[in-house]
Structures are given as structure tokens and as C-alpha cells.
């Protein structure tokens, strides 16, 4: 079986251990063995990045723009092949995998342009004869820690701005999905960027992730993952006074008002609750439906859900692939039980499915008769499980939508300009969707949430520079 090593100081270095990368659609299918670094390898990666930083951070924007553009070009050219790899590894459908890879390629292209657009400000001083310049500089070596559910796009949306603004990088991808990160590292390595500027260290979060966060050579940490791990990382960064950015979970509401177009509402609820197997931080897991449309909505949802095809992620015609891991499948199914024990009614799905190959297949679950205080409506499940909360009107819908410790994405289905406008203003989420699924965002605009979903400045778009640069104010006597 092919061994995939870590990329450290421009070399593929063998690790002390390797772990198989198993296809969740077919447990007999392995994508190869992937390195499990030890802390000594992490130390080497940080040292290599520190060594590369002075030259890279002053290398000139054209060299950086060219490198990022080349990386983006190769990713886009290989989107079908890499999309298949992604689907085999993570379990989202091939169409979704190809879409994610294209997003990653476009992100590198976008930040290639951003290399040339990092402006500053020149202001008059309040003191005569003095000039004031405000510029942005790179931070140094940045630790990037990524989750398993977007194994190509999330590494891309952290690596691209980090490099664009002149930083060096150590990437620690999720242990479950090292294949996409390895493929990305291979492309970055062959783009010709200098040794040590980008390093890939695969291994367990509790070992490598923890050591990365606490490493004195790391200037800042950008993390995407669960709230619990994010809180620990924030605490470690605070004590060491490192800059930190956290993107975490969601419990995203999708409001459906009486005046909604029923077809639009059902389609966007199915899309955002169940597609990508519900494994998106922006997935809708709380469907908040007003009284009058409720019976028709439930009826239409049941019919639509009956047509969803769950199967091998790479097979033609599959709507929803498997859950990514056994642990996640068990968590999803346990929440179906928790919901019923709390008094909700399981209207559809929720059971494990058998297919031609052994995999982690689950029928999308819809729970009704749920209330805002139930655990299924407060805790992130992160699978194809959605619950419906019936409310009397828009005001109650908005209150329930905002009654959550999270605040990543929120959606409303309505034909009323008044309610759409009010919801955009009063939703306590970082991203708001009107007649669109809560999941599915552009790559050139800021991404992030509020409350327990995000901490620190926004990712993506031009706003990424807030995290990946530090401001300097210089005064000159004329």
C-alpha cells in the first residue's frame, strides 16, 4: 500500500507510523497509508518554516502571486480527479467533491490577486511636518488546523491567504481525511515555492495539534473544528499571547414562513439539512415553521425525502453519501434516540442502511414535535438529522432562531420583503440567507459566525487579511 509522507522543509519525510485512509462508502477500500508524525517532526516543520520566513516575507508580491496562481490552475485542471479522491475519502458525493475542489482552486486564484492588492494608508499627522503610514506585515509562522468535513476547501482557505500575505505555514489536517491535504501539499510543493514555506504534518490532533498550538515558534493559530477543541486552543493561545482565529460549530435555523413558496422552502430545507450528509457547519438542523404552512410543509418534506438516494459517494445518481466515520454515525443515531426520548416524533429515516458495499450509510432523519429546549435543538449533531419546531408567527420564529449558543448561518423562506429585510437585520448569525439554503457560500466574501460559532476575525475574501497580517504605523519627519 502506498505510503504518504509528511512534507517538511521541502522534503517528503517518512514518519514513525502510518494509518490507513478508509473509504466510508466501502470499508474494504483504502486510499493508502498516511503519515502519523511525532512531535520531533513537528519541531522540524516549525524550524523549517521559521528559516524560510525572512526570504518569503520579503520575496515580492509577484513571486507570491505567481505561485498561488499556479497552484490554483493545477487544482482547477484536476478538479474531477481530486473531487473523486475527496468523495472516496470523506463521503460527500462526487458532484459535491468536484465543487469543493473547484472552490479550493478559485480561492488560490483569488488570493493570487490579493497579493497585489495589499494596500496601506497614508494620513496627515496632527503634528506639522510629519507623515504617517499604516502598513500590514505578515505574522511569521502560522499553525493551521483543519476539520474532516471540507478536506480540500478549508485547508485552501487558510493556506492561500497565509502565503499570499507573506507568512509561512504548518498545516495539520484532520486525521480522518489526510488524502486531500496530501494532494494539496503535493501541488504546492511542485509549484516551486521555496522549501519550508509550506509544511504538511499529518497526525493526531491530541498530539500534533496540541504541540503545534503550544509551540513557541508558532505566531498564530487558525483553527476550524468543534467548540470543545476550539476553546482549548483559545485558552492555550491566550496564555502564550498568540493571535487565534476559530471557526466552530453551528445549530443553524431555517425559518419557513406561511407566505413562503412551498417548493422553494422544501428544496432548500432538504438541501441544507441533508446534502453533504448534513456534515456542514452551515447545515440547517432546526427547521422553524409557522403554523399555517406547517401541514403542507411536513407533507411535502416527507414526499421529497422519500426520493433521496443514499449510496456510494462516487456512484452516479447518489444524492447523499455515507456518514464520514463510525463515530460520527453512532453520534447521529444516538441523537435520533435522544430526540425521541425527549418527546419528538421520528417522521422519516434515522436508521442505518445496507448497500452493496459495507459503509456508514444512514437514512436522513426528520424529527417533528420538537421544542427549542430539547438537546436535538441545542447541540450540534453534525449529520443528516433535522428537527422541526412549529411556531405561531414570524416574531416567534425569529426568537427561536436566535435562541441558540451558536450563530453561524441562518435562513428564511418567505415572499415578504418586510420579513426578509427584518430577518437580515435581526438574525444573530454571521451569515443570513433569504430563500437560499443556509449552506453554500461564495469564496470571495467573508465567512464566519457569532457567539459560540466563531472567535476572532473573519476568514476568506479581503477580510482574511485581518487575521493573516499585523498592522504597523510609521511616522516620518518630512
Which residues are tagged catalytic?
247, 281
Q: Does 148 bind ligand NAP (CB under 6 A)?
A: yes
Q: Which is nearer to ligand NAP, 144 or 401 (CB)?
A: 144
H helix intervals, 226-325: 227-239, 262-274, 294-306
Q: Taking CB under 6 A as the rule, does residue 226 contact ligand NAP? A: yes
Among 46, 229, 268, 269, indicate the residue that binds ligand NAP (CB under 6 A). Answer: 229
Report d(CA 93, CA 96) in Å as an integer.
5
d(CA 404, CA 253): 9
Distance between CA 320 and CA 82 in Å, rounded? 19
End-to-end CA distance of the chain: 66
Q: Give min distance, CB of 62 to ligand NAP, in A.
A: 31
**CB 248 → ligand NAP: shortest distance, Å?**
5
Residue 205 near ligand NAP by CB under 6 A: yes
What are 385's strand-pairing partners?
365
d(CA 189, CA 186): 5
Establish if 252 lies at the interface with ligand NAP (CB under 6 A): no
SS3 at position 215: coil
Angle (CA) 348 375 328, round 5° = 65
Residue number with CB closer to ligand NAP (74 or 89)? 89
Interface region with ligand NAP, contact rule CB under 6 A, candidates 1-9, 105-113, 198-206, 370-378: 198-206
Write down the least CB distance from residue 379 to ligand NAP, Å.
10
Whether 270 contacts 304, CB under 8 Å: yes
**Would you say the C-alpha torsion 148, 149, 152, 153 has a positive or negative sign?**
negative
Q: Does 151 bind ligand NAP (CB under 6 A)?
A: no
Decide if residue 249 touches ligand NAP (CB under 6 A).
Answer: yes
CB of 143 to ligand NAP, least distance (A): 9
Residue 213 binds ligand NAP (CB under 6 A): yes
- Distance separating alpha carbons of residues 368 and 1, to the nearest angstrom: 47
3-state SS, residue 361: strand
Least spacing, CB of residue 454 vs ligand NAP, in Å = 6
Binder of ligand NAP out of 25, 87, 224, 469 (CB under 6 A): 224
Mark residues 377-396: x for contact with ligand NAP by CB under 6 A, - for none: ---x-x--------------
> How far are the Cα atoms of 221, 231, 401 from residue 241, in angstroms, in the given order?
11, 15, 35
> Given the complex with ligand NAP, which of 61 and 236 has the nearer CB atom?
236
Sole residue written with cell 507510523: 17
Alpha-carbon gap, residue 472 to 466, rounded angstroms: 13
Q: Which is nearer to ligand NAP, 419 or 468 (CB)?
A: 468
Structural contact between residues 27 and 359, judged by C-beta atoms closer than 8 angstroms: yes
CB 403 within 8 A of CB 377: no
Q: Which helix (H) or strand (E) holds 47?
A: helix 39-57
Contact flag: residue 423 with ligand NAP (CB under 6 A): no
User: Contact between 456 and ligand NAP (CB under 6 A)?
Assistant: no
- Residue 148: phi and psi, rounded to 5, are -90, -15
Instruction: Pick from 147, 253, 383, 452 the residue near ligand NAP by CB under 6 A.
Output: 147
Which residue of 136, 204, 375, 444 would you call a contact of ligand NAP, by CB under 6 A? 204
Residues of span 156-185 touching ligand NAP by CB under 6 A: 172, 174-176
Residues in binding contact with ligand NAP, number by CB under 6 A: 31
Q: Is residue 360 part of the contact set for ligand NAP (CB under 6 A)?
A: no
CB-nearer residue toward ligand NAP: 65 or 431: 431
Q: Which is nearer to ligand NAP, 24 or 147 (CB)?
A: 147
Give whichever of 249 and 350 is closer to ligand NAP, judged by the CB atom: 249
Can you tell me the distance from the alpha carbon of 90 to that of 97, in angstroms, rounded to the nearest whole number? 9
Cβ-proximal residues to 389 (8 Å cutoff; 6+ apart), any chain: 286, 287, 288, 289, 370, 371, 372, 377, 400
Tracing cell 466552530 back to the chain, one arrives at: 248
Closest approach of ligand NAP to the CB of residue 228, in Å:
7
Query: With CB under 6 A as the contact rule, which of the stretches 25-33, 187-195, 245-253, 338-346 interacts with ligand NAP?
Result: 245-253
Q: Which of 125, 206, 341, 476 binds ligand NAP (CB under 6 A)?
A: 206
Q: Measured at the alpha carbon of residue 111, what is the angle toward residues 105 and 112, in degrees to the nearest 5?
A: 90
Out of 7, 145, 170, 185, which residue is the one contacting ligand NAP (CB under 6 A)? 145
Assess contact for 151 and 86: CB atoms under 8 A.
yes
232 binds ligand NAP (CB under 6 A): yes
Residue from 45, 248, 269, 300 touching ligand NAP (CB under 6 A): that is 248
**Interface ranges with ligand NAP (CB under 6 A):** 145-150, 172, 174-176, 204-206, 209-210, 213, 224-226, 229, 232-233, 247-250, 281, 380, 382, 408, 453
Amino acid at each position: 500500500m502506498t505510503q504518504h509522507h509528511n512534507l517538511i522543509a521541502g522534503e517528503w519525510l517518512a514518519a514513525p507510523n502510518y494509518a490507513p485512509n478508509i473509504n466510508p462508502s466501502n470499508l474494504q477500500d483504502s486510499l493508502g497509508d498516511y503519515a502519523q508524525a511525532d512531535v520531533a517532526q513537528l519541531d522540524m516543520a516549525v524550524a523549517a518554516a521559521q528559516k524560510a520566513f525572512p526570504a518569503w516575507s520579503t520575496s515580492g508580491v509577484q513571486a507570491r502571486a505567481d505561485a498561488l496562481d499556479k497552484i490554483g490552475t493545477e487544482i482547477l485542471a484536476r478538479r474531477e480527479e481530486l473531487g473523486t479522491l475527496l468523495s472516496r475519502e470523506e463521503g460527500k458525493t462526487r458532484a459535491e467533491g468536484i465543487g469543493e475542489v473547484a472552490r479550493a482552486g478559485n480561492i488560490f486564484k483569488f488570493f493570487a490577486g490579493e497579493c497585489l492588492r495589499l494596500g496601506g494608508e497614508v494620513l496627515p499627522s496632527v503634528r506639522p511636518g510629519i507623515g504617517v503610514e499604516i502598513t500590514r506585515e505578515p505574522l511569521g509562522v502560522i499553525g493551521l488546523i483543519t476539520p474532516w468535513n471540507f478536506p480540500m476547501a478549508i485547508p485552501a482557505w487558510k493556506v492561500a491567504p497565509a502565503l499570499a500575505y507573506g507568512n509561512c505555514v504548518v498545516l495539520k489536517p484532520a486525521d480522518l481525511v489526510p488524502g486531500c491535504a496530501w494532494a494539496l501539499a503535493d501541488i504546492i510543493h511542485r509549484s516551486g515555492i521555496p522549501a519550508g514555506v509550506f509544511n504538511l504534518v499529518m497526525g493526531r490532533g491530541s498530539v500534533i495539534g496540541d504541540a503545534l498550538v503550544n509551540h513557541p515558534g508558532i505566531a498564530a493559530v487558525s483553527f476550524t473544528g468543534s467548540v470543545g477543541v476550539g476553546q482549548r486552543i483559545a485558552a492555550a493561545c491566550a496564555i502564550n499571547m498568540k493571535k487565534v482565529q476559530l471557526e466552530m460549530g453551528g445549530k443553524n435555523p431555517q425559518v419557513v414562513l406561511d407566505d413562503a413558496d412551498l417548493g422553494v422552502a422544501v428544496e432548500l430545507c432538504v438541501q441544507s439539512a441533508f446534502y453533504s450528509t448534513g456534515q456542514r457547519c452551515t447545515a440547517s438542523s432546526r427547521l422553524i415553521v409557522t403554523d399555517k404552512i406547517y401541514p403542507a410543509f411536513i407533507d411535502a418534506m416527507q414526499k421529497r425525502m422519500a426520493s433521496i438516494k443514499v449510496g456510494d459517494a462516487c456512484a452516479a445518481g447518489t444524492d447523499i453519501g455515507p456518514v464520514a466515520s463510525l463515530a460520527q454515525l453512532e453520534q447521529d443515531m444516538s441523537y435520533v434516540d435522544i430526540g425521541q426520548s425527549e418527546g419528538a416524533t421520528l417522521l422519516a429515516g434515522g436508521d442505518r442502511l445496507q448497500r452493496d458495499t459495507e459503509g456508514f450509510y444512514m437514512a436522513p432523519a426528520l424529527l417533528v414535535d420538537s421544542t427549542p429546549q430539547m438537546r436535538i435543538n441545542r447541540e450540534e449533531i453534525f449529520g443528516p438529522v433535522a428537527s422541526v419546531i412549529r411556531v405561531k408567527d414570524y416574531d416567534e420564529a425569529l426568537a427561536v432562531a436566535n435562541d441558540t449558543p451558536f450563530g453561524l448561518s441562518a435562513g428564511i423562506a418567505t415572499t415578504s420583503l418586510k420579513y426578509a429585510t427584518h430577518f437580515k437585520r435581526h438574525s444573530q448569525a454571521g451569515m443570513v440567507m433569504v430563500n437560499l439554503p443556509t449552506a453554500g457560500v461564495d469564496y470571495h466574501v467573508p465567512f464566519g459566525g457569532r457567539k459560540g460559532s466563531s472567535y476572532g476575525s473573519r476568514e476568506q475574501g479581503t477580510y482574511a487579511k485581518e487575521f493573516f497580517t499585523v498592522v504597523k504605523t510609521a511616522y516620518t519627519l518630512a
